[in-house]
Structure 1
């Protein structure tokens, strides 16, 4: 009783057979999709491990490296947090070994007060060209644009604090003003998880200037559409208002008709690692556009990121 006769399959055996068949189908058809999704991550991880293992301990300095002159004009900028101390120190170590030991640029670390005097002394002991710059909450460079103080009007704050939105504003507008006031002509933005893993044996800033380049970036990415909500419409309206033609590059990034959030292809500069000339961003036409973006409050009301704002600005005017 309860046992299957010889030659017959029990219900459990049949069920197991069906499950195995379903799993086989999932594996066969799902594996390509899984590889498509995770292959970039896997290859990036492998390449990063190989690059880290093969990184040189020091680099050749060209005989014409004039760090004393260049240091007065060029800055490397990082917005940092003490809780990411280990990443920051590793990033600074790679920067020093593979570029800055030769070219001796000012390294400006912007923070919100979480680095004590002792912390700053410790960092500068290893990297003397580092300067700490304090961005006070509510100060000129770290605050809400006028008219947006009522936070109830802001878009979802889940995962995107006021500090995050101040950071966005700092990178699309305020950093250029800050650096210009201190006499810098060029700046490179890095994050604390930006690692220069091989030698750069030429002055990046001098190369940009000698070749009349205004903007350099590491790679492009597809941005979340919500992180640029209404920005394409603003760009289109502004270009029509000032009577400027739409650039060929801008045309190449939306699907015909009128430029809009829906028609834009989401192509965006990854500006966490970039180099640019400050005076271009401080020119009158650019400032008028950025003031309009700032006044609109889209970085606060809709959580629009600094990367798409910077991308549209460059494509519109450069």
Structure 2
């Protein structure tokens, strides 16, 4: 190319426009890299359980006929002051699914339900509703717990900002859901349950019977979301689990799902668990000897009260160890939200037919936020972004900030984050939290 041609190109409006476009593109990419949050999660539930072995309910037309009725129930652990939150959940649950099948409800509380509560919930469904009080022995301290030490541990965890660290009732709830709900007199007649909680959303129509699906395929446990537990709430749980397994190796299934809960063959717990506020499961699995002995062993260790063991990791570890992957089902087609997380099916067919109103782009499991370090999602994420120094003043609930190279690492408890702030809503407590 001669000098005259080069000069002509440099003066050409088209060439100058091309250079300008390239500069804008480079600047935009640089800005996004420097100022946009980079979120790192583990692999999706879709990758772990939505494999070629996954059973597709849509292929079994008998599930849609509403002829065969399974011995199943909707279980709701709720308090009187959560009336309108559970009414919201029930209205969606009925409209999306249960008005077609009319499975009964059992409402449980640690105190008597008010007549207002009974009237305002039973009026939302044509199904049978029952209301029960939890027996005191299922919602109280066992005799081997030092209550003064338990109170001291609660104060200590609360001072560290651990979520629900200071709550006594939360511990009773976790222990009840871990070891007793399936033995409540109102639930003893049933074989399967679907757990329903206040303030949850169902965002897709469901036209088949998941209970019949579970029964026909001999499934034990169904879930929609898996994530990581807060490590500070269960410091000795895995150590206790390993002791139990060593003493009772006969209970561990040969085709277990150890890889779901451990990245090193069982040496450590990777904190993965099924989010148990949504469960469709076989009640007789929890009533079985292996699980009953497992729970009793954990209970005697005191971790539900001296630490803050949740029913989600307890259930998940038991499912992973005592059953097979083929008996665990990922309900991909049930769009479910329990703030701050949601599952929405990504397949176009669910949305093209008008069955769903959720946005798969906001899915907790979106594939653009993957890494290969774990088998489930983290509820602990790192934002690699340059933030102003005044971030602590703007968001005083952020409990820890520290400078790390050219980026900030933020840690905050999700319940304290303003829900109307999209940026803040993604900030979850980090493992390596540091106080300011």
Q: TM-score, normalised by structure 2?
A: 0.55
Task: Give the conservation status (yes or no) of the 8 Å contact 2:258–2:320.
Answer: yes
Aligned partners of 1:180 and 1:279 also within 8 Å: no
- Output aligned runs, 1:240-259, within 5 Å: 240-244=246-250, 249-251=257-259, 253-256=261-264, 259=267
Aligned-pair Cα RMSD in Å: 2.8
What's the offset of the Cα at 1:145?
Answer: 2.4
Q: Give a deviation string over 1:47-69, Cα, whole Å, max 9, x none.
A: xxxxxxxxxxxxxx9873147x4
Gaps of 5+ in 1: 1-26, 38-60
Give the Cα separation in 2 of the matches to 1:151 and 1:206.
47
SS at match of 1:100: helix
Q: Is contact 2:64–2:208 with CA below 8 Å preserved after alignment?
A: no
- The change in CA–CA distance for 1:142 and 1:183 in structure 2 (over 3 A counts) is same
Aligned counterpart, 1:204: 210
Q: In structure 2, which of residues 177, 196, 199 is the aligned counterpart of residue 171 of structure 1?
A: 177
2:139 to 135, 139, 142: 142
Contact 1:81 1:114 (8 Å CA) reproduced: no
266-275 vs 123-132, which moves further: 123-132
The SS at the match of 2:199 is: coil
Residue 221 of structure 2 corresponds to residue 215 of structure 1? yes
SS in 1 for 2:262: coil
Alignment pair present for 1:31 and 2:30 = no
Instruction: Check if 1:307 corresponds to 2:307.
Output: no
**Is 1:273–2:278 an aligned residue pair?**
yes
Cα shift readout 1:70-94 (whole Å, capped 9, x = no counterpart): 3xx2111121123333321110001
Does the aligned pair in 1 maintain the 2:253–2:322 contact within 8 Å?
no
TM-score calculated relative to the size of structure 1 = 0.74
The one-character-per-residue Cα deviations of 1:224-272 (angstroms, maximum 9, x if unpaired) are 112222111112121121234686521453343762xxx3211111111
Query: What is the rounded CA distance, in whole Å, between the counterparts of 2:116 and 2:260 in structure 1?
Result: 51
- Aligned pairs for 1:41-120 within 5 A: 64-66=65-67, 69-70=69-70, 73-113=71-111, 115-120=113-118
Question: Aligned partners of 2:116, 2:253: CA distance in 1, in Å?
Answer: 52
- Mapped to 1, the partners of 2:90 and 2:187 lie a distance apart of 25
Give me the whole-angstrom Cα distance separating, in 2, the residues matched to 1:62 and 1:285.
31
CA contact under 8 A between 1:146 and 1:295: conserved in structure 2?
no
Q: CA deviation at 1:296?
A: 1.3
Change in CA separation of 1:30 and 1:190 when aligned onto 2, cut-off 3 Å: farther
Deviation at 1:278, TM superposition (A): 0.9
Rounded to whole Å, the distance in 2 between the matches of 1:107 and 1:174 is 18
Number of positions where the alignment pairs a residue of Structure 1 with one of Structure 2 = 262
From 153, 156, 166, the counterpart of 2:150:
153
SS of equivalent residue, structure 2 residue 85 = helix
- Asked if structure 2 preserves the Cα contact closer than 8 Å seen for 1:239 and 1:246, the reply is no
Q: 2:375 corresponds to which residue?
A: none
1:47 aligned residue: none
Unaligned runs of 5+ in 2: 1-30, 41-61, 159-163, 324-436
User: What's the CA shift for 1:284?
Assistant: 1.2
CA distance in structure 2 between the partners assigned to 1:36 and 1:225 by the alignment: 19
Structure whose residues are more often helix by fraction? 1
CA contact (8 A) 1:142 1:166 kept: yes
Question: Once the 2 structures are TM-superposed, how far is the Cα of residue 312 of structure 1 from its aligned partner?
Answer: 0.9
C-alpha separation in 2, matches of 1:153 and 1:170? 17
